[in-house]
Structure 1
Amino acid sequence: MTHLRRIALHVDEPDPGHFYWVLMEEGDDASQWLELESADEPTEMWIDAFQAGTAALLGYVPDERIGPRTADDDEDASPVG
């Protein structure tokens, strides 16, 4: 069975009034987060960046019933090593 990916969305404001959405995914351990994707252009409002980031996150979800799943797991493999 594939595992649910741990993807987080946050909004960054590197300059006042310039908001960028950023998607991060948990790395090999819980203390490591890697940037997946981010906005190319800023928005003027935090909520607009957040909504655009949410739309980008949904792009990683092929089935809304189960959320974003890992692609590298073999669904036919035994769950025990």
Structure 2
Amino acid sequence: MSHIRRISVHVDEPDPGHFYWVLMEEGGDASQWVELESADEPCDMWLDALQAGMRALEGYAPDERIGPRSKGDDEDGAAVGIPTR
């Protein structure tokens, strides 16, 4: 199985009191990050934006045991460190 995708979530506040979640993924090297997705509408509270971003990030993981994987990865294979039964 390949390594987990390196996706981060952060909150941006372009205008005071308008909080947007943003998902970023590591690019070709560790110093390059590319925006994957962001909120269309702002939240009134930072925590609400963060929680919405976390839900969006969870959507990238088809299986909560192994997290988000790149396309083409063996989704039916055993997760590293997780025994199969």
Alignment of 1:60-79 (within 5 A): 60-73=60-73
Superposition RMSD in Å: 1.4
Higher RCO (CA-CA < 8 Å; seq separation 6+): 1
CA distance in 2, matches of 1:51, 1:35: 18
Which 4+ runs in 1 deviate beyond 6 A? none
CA distance in 2, matches of 1:41, 1:74: 35
Please report how far the alpha carbon of residue 71 of structure 1 lies from its aligned counterpart in structure 2 after TM superposition: 1.2
2:54 is aligned to 54
2:4 is aligned to 4
2:28 is aligned to 28
Q: Flag structure 2 segments of 5+ consecutive residues without an equivalent.
A: 76-85
State the TM-score, normalizing by the size of structure 1: 0.87
CA distance in 2, matches of 1:34, 1:69: 16
Please report how far the alpha carbon of residue 48 of structure 1 lies from its aligned counterpart in structure 2 after TM superposition: 0.5
Give me the identity figure in percent.
Answer: 77
2:15 is aligned to 15
State the TM-score, normalizing by the size of structure 2: 0.83
CA distance in 2, matches of 1:68, 1:45: 27
Q: Flag structure 1 segments of 5+ consecutive residues without an equivalent.
A: 76-81
CA distance in 1, matches of 2:7, 2:72: 16
Contact 1:2 1:71 in 2 (8 A): no
Aligned residues: 75
